[in-house]
Amino acid sequence: MIVLDGKKTAADIKEEIALEVVELKRRENIVPHLAAVIVGNDGASITYVNAKVKACERVGFESSLIRLPENTTEDDLLNEINILNVDKDIDGFIVQLPLPSHIDEQKIIMAIDPEKDVDGFHPTNVGKMALNLPTFISATPYGILELLDRYNVETSGKHVVVIGRSHIVGSPMSILLAQKRKVGNATVTITHSRTKNLKEITLQADIIIAALGIPEFLKADMIKDDVTVIDVGITRVPDSRKKSGYRLLGDVDYEEVSKKASFITPVPGGVGPMTIAMLLKNTLIACRNKI
Ligand code: NAD
């Protein structure tokens, strides 16, 4: 069994990006700049957004964090987005999700300039992704593609089963892996909460992408030998032994599943760090697109 080490791979990618930043500065005298907007005080969201900003600093990017209070109105947020859309110093920006319930997320995503939408959530970019045109591929699926690529996991002709159909993970993942691309050409089955006999389907999989958000959902009796397992899930479960008061669990019963798998991502240290690295990569692409 080989552990797909997202932490190490993400560190390699960040090193590559840092070198490119030095080159960009030397040749063009420009430095990529990512801005992140966060509304409210959700603990997990603040942790994620801080990690993204810190990662920017480490690779030599400029970064801006815009923190808005929980009671920010939709109009105020739209106004903030317009400011970022026209700010020539900002190459790309993200609005950390989820947003408070009084704000329409889709309306906010639609307001972002697609050229600066480094999360790849704007319908223009989702459409381009679906058509296999150059665009910002959203960071989590992009990170999974990159991890499979760097570990030379064969996807062509393989049966991939994706568990979960969210717009940010399951759905794009299934589209990308079915496409004619280096990491792609797979036969993909997408499953969700209404899928019947899920176990019968997962037992046929060569590769499983688990993205449903239910801790340790995928058990050893649901997989065949030598399967590749990508665990996207991150759930915080209370743990009094930890300083933070919680530990992170994936959607895969790692202990049992790892004994049968040929490749597997751990949680933490798998898909999570890759997501941040690919957000940086998208920001670098946005910056280069301006030249
Ligand atoms: P979501 O809640 O938007 O969607 C969950 C999906 O799982 C839905 O499509 C639902 O139909 C499906 N589902 C629910 N119960 C199921 C069942 N019993 N059988 C089959 N399918 C079922 O989730 P999301 O935003 O895609 O996130 C999924 C998980 O991945 C969460 O734990 C989230 O925290 C994590 N996540 C991690 C990263 C990362 O960077 N590692 C990024 C995004 C999301």
Q: What is the pLDDT of residues 273-291, one digit of tens each?
A: 999 999 999 999 999 999 8
Nearest CA to ligand 1 atom 30: 233
> What atom in ligand 1 is closest to the CA of residue 235?
32
**47 CB under 6 A from ligand 1?**
no
Please identify every stretch of the chain with a pLDDT value under 50, giving residue numbers as ranges.
none
- The pLDDT value given to residue 64: 97
In this chain, the answer to whether the domains covering 29-113 and 139-272 adopt an identical fold is yes
User: Residue 275: which residues within 8 A CB-CB, separation 6 or more?
Assistant: 139, 140, 143
CA of 108 to the centre of ligand 1 (A): 21
What is the whole-number distance in angstroms between the Cα of residue 165 and the centre of ligand 1? 7
CATH top-level class of 139-272? alpha beta
* Neighbouring-strand partners of residue 94: 36
Token pair, residue 259, equals 């004994």
Distance from Cα 240 to the centre of ligand 1, integer Å = 25
Determine if ligand 1 sits within 6 Å of the CB of residue 140. yes
* Model pLDDT, residue 245: 93
Residue 238 CA: distances (Å) to CA of 28, 108, 120, 210, 268: 48, 32, 32, 22, 15
Helix, strand or coil for residue 55?
helix
Cα of 163 to ligand 1 centre, how many Å?
8
Ligand 1 center to residue 241 CA distance, Å? 27
193 touches ligand 1 (CB under 6 Å): yes
Contact 283, 118 (CB under 8 A): yes
Longest Cα separation, the chain: 57
Contact 172 CB / ligand 1 (< 6 Å): no
| Residue-wise pLDDT tens digits, 236-274 | 999 999 999 999 999 999 999 999 999 999 999 999 999
165 within ligand 1 shell (Cβ under 6 A): yes
Write out the catalytic residue numbers.
Answer: 52, 96, 119
How far is Cα 39 from Cα 95, in angstroms, rounded to an integer?
Answer: 8
CATH code assigned to 29-113: 3.40.50.10860
The dihedral built from the CA positions of residue 107, 163, 143 and 98, taken in this order, carries a sign that is positive
Which mutation among 45, 49, 166 tests ligand 1's pocket best, with the greatest number of atoms within 8 A of CB? Answer: 166
To test the pocket of ligand 1, the residue of 42, 144, 234, 251 to mutate (highest count of ligand atoms within 8 Å of its CB) is 234
CA of 81 to the centre of ligand 1 (A): 27
**Which residue, among 181, 121, 172, 126, has the nearest Cα to 149 in the 3D structure?**
181
Q: Residue with the nearest Cα to atom 6 of ligand 1?
A: 164
Hey, where are the domains in the chain?
29-113, 139-272
Q: Is 143 in the pocket of ligand 1 (CB under 6 A)?
A: no
